[in-house]
Chain A
């Protein structure tokens, strides 16, 4: 078990800055993030984009900001669990918490800080009758093990790069491949689209453009998918598996199940100290909401500073907090 004072969920810029503010108050931090690397959206989505509203930097690239923040918190020796999603929180008899990760990691802490940004990216689900019925067995939102589809009949749905790429890849593995797309053409990746058209011409796949998904059917296990064509006529395609590939969309994920007050996918907090409705749990950065909320990195930093002043009482219940400037005291490493 990992032991720390504060467990920070999310290793983006705001989570990282919370390590600094906590460190000034002698509180140790462990960060856990579902992404395989530090930096959150900044490193994952826009590492090369310039940011213009960080004080002191007229312009700074997103990844460079993360690198500099890592340098800034180095004295406080934060520890990390990466590539693991937090599934649940368990409060202990003494008020402290166990944070449980999807891969079995357990983090014991006095305070939990949710700095989860957009949340986790989860597969987007199509609107289709009986989807939930076959979700556990024959519906796959991602292809983890292509061999699973060897000699099987599959229907892939979607028009993006991953739908095209997997169609091409699985043609040699599956017995029968059908690709269903709502539109009459593919806009992305012209090379992949060309290959898919070619496979359809050769009769190696069944390409259904301008078709809409209607329902899944079967008797306990999936047997067919029903579609409508451009003329709104019903079409039935026998299949063993349905693979909808509609990309990922940011969702709160397990966080929504922890009893926190949620408004429009964001966690409600008190602006006094960015505490949630549950004692010892705080939320800072893009994942929280309050009247006048601005989703700015800058605002998240401010929230981190106030949060730490409040969290101190749980980590050091017998000590009085005295506020000190870094210009007076410097940064005292652990």
Chain B
């Protein structure tokens, strides 16, 4: 279908499911994950300040736009971030991201 893609999400407990995501609405990946009932604090509301929407990209990281300095600074401060880490609040998905696989890592407190 046009303007929707499928992404595969692994929850903290290892549960994996594929979610259909619209790409023609102006929502960040953090907002999409929250709307899909994933437990994400998103304390700062999407300003790359709290890093509670930390995700690990399992497949498709090269398709994503590069992280801004602010996102990288925040990721650098996390005890458990790696080179495949991103902040979901800084990502907006489009049709080319079909098949993206990710794991939810953000802290719950």
Tell me whether B94 is interfacial, beta carbon within 8 Å: no
Question: Is there contact, CB below 8 Å, between A250 and B49?
Answer: yes
A144 interface hit (Cβ, 8 Å): no
A264 to B107 Cα, complex, angstroms: 12
A182 with B77, Cβ < 8 A, contacts A118-B43, A249-B51 known: no
Q: How far is the CB of B79 from chain A (nearest CB, A)?
A: 4
Residues of B within 8 A of A247 (CB): 74, 76-78
User: Digit string of B49-89 for contact with A (CB within 8 Å is 1, else 0)?
Assistant: 11110000000000000000100111111111111000000
The answer to whether B76 touches A188 (Cβ under 8 A) is yes
Taking a contact as CB atoms closer than 8 A, the residue among B43, B44, B81, B109 that contacts A182 in the complex is B81
B19 at the A/B interface (Cβ < 8 Å)?
Answer: no
Residue A50 lies at the interface, judged by CB distance under 8 Å to chain B = no
* A: number of interface residues (CB 8 Å): 31
A-B pairs with beta carbons under 8 Å apart, 18 shown: A46-B47, A124-B51, A124-B77, A126-B79, A158-B77, A160-B73, A160-B76, A182-B81, A183-B83, A187-B76, A188-B69, A245-B77, A246-B77, A247-B78, A249-B51, A250-B43, A251-B109, A265-B43
> Could you tell me if B82 and A183 are in contact, using CB atoms closer than 8 angstroms?
yes
A45, CB-defined interface residue at 8 Å: yes
CB distance B77 to A286 under 8 Å? no
Alpha-carbon distance between A6 and B11 when the two chains are bound, in angstroms: 44
**In the complex, chain B residues whose CB is within 8 Å of the CB of A103:** none
Residues of B within 8 A of A15 (CB): none
Q: Which residue of B lies closest to A119 (CB)?
A: B43
A127 in the interface (beta carbon within 8 A): yes
Is B79 a contact of A127 with CB atoms below 8 Å? yes
* B83 in contact with A118 (CB, 8 Å): no
Q: Is the CB of A127 within 8 A of B51?
A: no
Kindly identify, within residues 225 to 251 of chain A, every residue whose CB is under 8 Å from any CB belonging to chain B: 244-251
- Closest Cβ of chain B to A129, distance in Å, is 13
A161 in contact (CB, < 8 A): yes
Nearest Cβ in chain B — how far from A317, in angstroms? 37
Residue of B nearest to A125 (CB): B79
**Residue B99 CB within 8 A of the other chain:** no
- Bound together, the chains give a CA A126 to CA B79 distance in angstroms of 5
Contact with A127, one of B41, B75, B80, B81 (Cβ below 8 angstroms): B80
Q: Which of A125, A188, A244 lies in contact with B72, CB distance below 8 A? A: A188
**Is A40's CB within 8 Å of the partner chain B?**
no
A159 at the interface (CB under 8 A from B): yes
The answer to whether the Cβ of A213 comes within 8 Å of any Cβ in the partner chain is yes
Known: A247-B74, A264-B41. A182 touches B50 (CB 8 A): no
* CB-contact partner of B76 in A159, A244, A249, A295, under 8 A: A159
Flag whether A274 is at the interface (Cβ < 8 A).
no
Query: Which residues of B sit under 8 angstroms from A118, Cβ to Cβ?
Result: 43-44, 49-50
8 Å CB contact of B45 from A160, A188, A246, A295: A295
| B41 pairs with A265, CB closer than 8 A | yes
Q: Which of B43, B75, B83, B107 has the most CB of A within 10 A?
A: B43
